[in-house]
Structure 1
Amino acid sequence: MTNAKILVVEDEAIVAKDLEYRLIKFGYTVPAIASSGEEAINKAVEICPDLVLMDIKLKGSMDGIEAAQEIYKRLDIPVIYLTAYADENTFKRAKITEPFGYLLKPFKERELQINIEITLIKHGLEKQLKGNRKWLDALLRSIGDGVIASDLQELIIFMNPVAENLTGWKEEEACGRNSSEIFNIANAETHNTVESPIVKVLQGGTIVELPVGTILITKDGAEIPIDDSAAPIKDDKNNITGAVLVFRDITERKRAIEARQKQIEQEQLVVQWEKINQLKNDFLNLVSHELRSPLSNMKVMIQMIRLSITTEEAKRYLELMESECDRELGLINDLLDLQRLETSSYPVITPDALLLQQWLPWVIEPFQIRVQEHQQTLQINLPSNLPSLFSDVISLERILVELLNNACKYTPTGGEIVLSVNHNPSEALAKIIITISNSAEIPVTELPRIFEKFYRVPNADIWNQGGSGLGLPIVQGLVEQLQGNIQVESSNGWTTFTLTLTDL
């Protein structure tokens, strides 16, 4: 290595000048000469030479060995000792400082040149190796996976921070311990110990992967699902010198897989449910048609028979048969309406201006006779300034009829039914609030189920009329179609349905 800068440390001026002459002759430069240990350190810091030729016996309190040790520690500059002393004690002290050469005076010129060249080359290679080691160490410590390396005896020689965090062991604690103690793995279901992949690698010399469902048992006993692979470490002659293990926490991946699997199952359930719903709808359409046709025909025939007979008893039975036909037809129609509401195939609403002040008494009128028959009272409270409502007349009429019908059936003899209407014109979107109350209380525990299909309040007096449990679900579906809201509450002997509507 020509042009290398060499610091000469020699307290004999003639010897120092001779060394300088020879070094320049070899093609090196000598930027400075020091005569003491302290001066040698200062000059080395100032000029940062490539190599130091150090005499051991120097003037001052610090000898060459102490100066060389300080220079190498501070600057990583190689040192060759040039000394006339070969005693065992001096040699032992010098050896501790790990010099790159030790030449006894007098020495041959060629011997000096060879030692300098070998030292420069060796130090360059060591410096490069140290740089590579630092780079590799930084890489291993910065990657997101845990890394553990072992020697041929399965003893830990390296762990990166991720491996420390996952295992719960610090590198300084783990180094020198058996890998199976640090990397303690088991089957997730059986908790049986799983053989360390490092052992398999050292035995087989091939890459080994962990079986599925492996957990890492940390130092404090926690369990972490992991996957990993282990590979042999080989020298330049392909001989195995150890093993390296790379592993990662797959908790989040497992959650993602489980979530995706659950999503797939839910999607499959949705598809199956849609198929079942379609079959149900097809069945209802078919059955409803097949049932309604004969019932309608029966009803017509009953009416014709009633016109042709005179016996009062026969007429009474025919009236009962006709009533039963009407009830069956009503049930079928309710089933069809509910099915259409659930599948969004109900007839399209047609909004129109509705004069509530005139229209509501007309809707209530048929129920006046019914409540009188059961000694009930039906009261209607309408404000004088009630505005019109832009809504679907057919749907709204069906809602009120179902709610009033429900109130009549569940109100005891002598009970009251009250229909009230309010509105708030001060709101940005004016609301019409219709309440229908009846003097019969529903248990609080039953209220959450009031709009369920086929649900009927237990032990309720329904005036010997059949109830299908479809009226209120139909009401709820129609209210949603009108973009309104319906609520029910029951207390102090009264049950109140509150219907909130706005213009469509």
Structure 2
Amino acid sequence: MRILIIEDEIIIARFIENQIKRRYPFETVIALSTKEVEQLLPDFCPHLILCDIELKDELDGIELIRQLKKTYSFEVVFITSYQSMHTINRAFELKPANYIIKPLDESRLYAGIQAIVNQLLEKNAGKNPNFNINDILSQSELTILKLIAQKKTTKEIASLINLSPYTIKNYRHSICRKLQLEEENNALLTWSLKNYQFISNV
């Protein structure tokens, strides 16, 4: 599972990252600004975003998430020192998984994200395939699927097999269609991780 931490205070961001890595085997990335978020999202495709509301940027965290949800599919937990009813109501218009009020400590962070982590791990987990995958996917698609199962990004896969990222994205769409997976962020990654032993032996 991939988690994006949007927090412009690096000390707080590192604290959140360290707490997650202590408890979960997830890939985490920190973005300190909206510009970094825009650069990361196309390839990183997070399942969960932990987002501060008070960002020293052109958008606050609520407006940033509102914009991102127009293009991407993810869950969000807001982490903020804001406690006003107005801010809380604005945040909950976006239906976040939770809203954690600073100051943060280990227990507060764990309690704030554990339920949504469990839900996301169960979502789109898929079932073990009971078909011959060689009859469904081409050799190129199988190669790409194995690299996805190794948590390679679109850009990394493109570089490894000398194709453009645009071509890799087309392959990903094709694989999703053939495996009857929803074409949302991370559905294919989740499926490939759950069935890694199966596809690695093909």
TM-score, length-scaled by structure 2? 0.55
* Unaligned 5+ runs, structure 2: 126-202
Of residues 6, 22, 26, the one that matches 2:19 is 22
2:50 corresponds in structure 1 to: 53
CA-CA distance at 1:79 after TM superposition = 0.5
Which deviations, in whole Å up to 9, do the C-alpha atoms of 1:246-286 show, x marking residues without a partner?
xxxxxxxxxxxxxxxxxxxxxxxxxxxxxxxxxxxxxxxxx
Q: Decide which of 38, 44, 64 is 2:41's aligned counterpart.
A: 44
Shift in Å at residue 92 of structure 1? Answer: 1.3
Cα displacement string for residues 80-120 of structure 1 (whole angstroms, at most 9, x for unaligned residues)? 00100111221111011110010000133133223322113
Contact 1:41 1:70 in 2 (8 A): no
Could you tell me how far 1:124 is from its partner in structure 2?
A: 5.8
CA distance in 2 between partners of 1:20 and 1:127 (Å): 25
1:93 matched to 2:90? The reply is: yes
More strand by share: 1
- 8 Å CA contact 2:17, 2:28 repeated in 1: no
1:73 aligns to what SS in structure 2? Answer: coil
User: Do the aligned partners of 1:49 and 1:77 also contact (CA within 8 Å) in 2?
Assistant: yes
Over 3 Å counting, the alpha-carbon distance change for 1:22 and 1:124 in structure 2 is closer
Match of 1:78? 75
* Greater radius of gyration (CA): 1
Distance change >3 Å, CA 42–CA 6, structure 1 → 2: same
User: 2 CA distance for matches of 1:69 and 1:28?
Assistant: 28
Q: Cα 1:20–1:124, aligned 2, differ >3 Å: closer, same or farther?
A: closer
Q: What residue number does 1:32 align with?
A: 29
Residue 110 of structure 2 corresponds to residue 113 of structure 1: yes
Q: Tell me how far apart the structure 1 counterparts of residues 63 and 38 of structure 2 sit (CA, whole Å).
A: 10
Supply the distance in 2 between the matched residues of 1:60 and 1:18 (Cα, whole angstroms): 21
State the partner residue of 1:437.
none
Ranges of 4+ aligned residues in structure 1 off by more than 4 Å: 123-128
Q: Secondary structure at the match of 2:69?
A: helix
Report the 3-state secondary structure (helix = DSSP H, G, I; strand = E; otherwise coil) of the residue aligned with 2:49.
strand
Question: Unaligned 5+ residue runs, structure 1?
Answer: 129-504
Matched pairs, number: 125
Matches within 5 A, 1:193-212: none
Residue type of the partner of 1:96? E
Cα contact 2:47–2:120 (8 A) shared by 1:
no
1:103 to 100, 118, 124: 100
Q: Which has the higher contact order (CA 8 A, sep 6+)?
A: 2
Report matched runs for 1:389-428 at 5 Å. Answer: none
State the distance in 2 between where 1:90 and 1:117 align.
23
Relative to structure 1, is the Cα distance of residues 53 and 96 closer, same or farther in structure 2, using a 3 angstrom cutoff? same
Equivalent of residue 13 in structure 1, options 10, 15, 35: 10
Matches within 5 A, 1:206-355: none
Aligned mates of 1:35, 1:66 — CA distance in 2: 16
Aligned amino acid, residue 106 of structure 1: P
Q: Secondary structure at the match of 1:54?
A: strand
1:63 and 2:63 are equivalent in the alignment: no
Residues 30 and 59 of structure 1, relative CA distance in 2, 3 Å threshold: farther
SS of 1:75's partner is coil
SS of alignment partner, residue 117 of structure 2: helix
Instruction: Note the C-alpha offset of 1:19.
Output: 1.2
Partner amino acid, structure 2, of 1:111: R
Say whether the 8 Å CA contact 2:76–2:98 is kept in structure 1. Answer: yes
Specify the alignment match of 1:298 in structure 2.
none
- Give the whole-Å Cα distance in 2 for the aligned partners of 1:56 and 1:95: 12
Q: How far off is 1:127 after superposition?
A: 6.3
Distance between the aligned counterparts of 1:65 and 1:126, measured in 2? Answer: 25
How much identity, in percent, do the aligned residues show? Answer: 30
Partner deviation per Cα, 1:280-336 (whole Å, 9 max, x = no partner): xxxxxxxxxxxxxxxxxxxxxxxxxxxxxxxxxxxxxxxxxxxxxxxxxxxxxxxxx
Aligned to 1:366: none
- Cα deviation for residue 23 of structure 1 reads 1.1
| Paired residue secondary structure (2:63) | helix
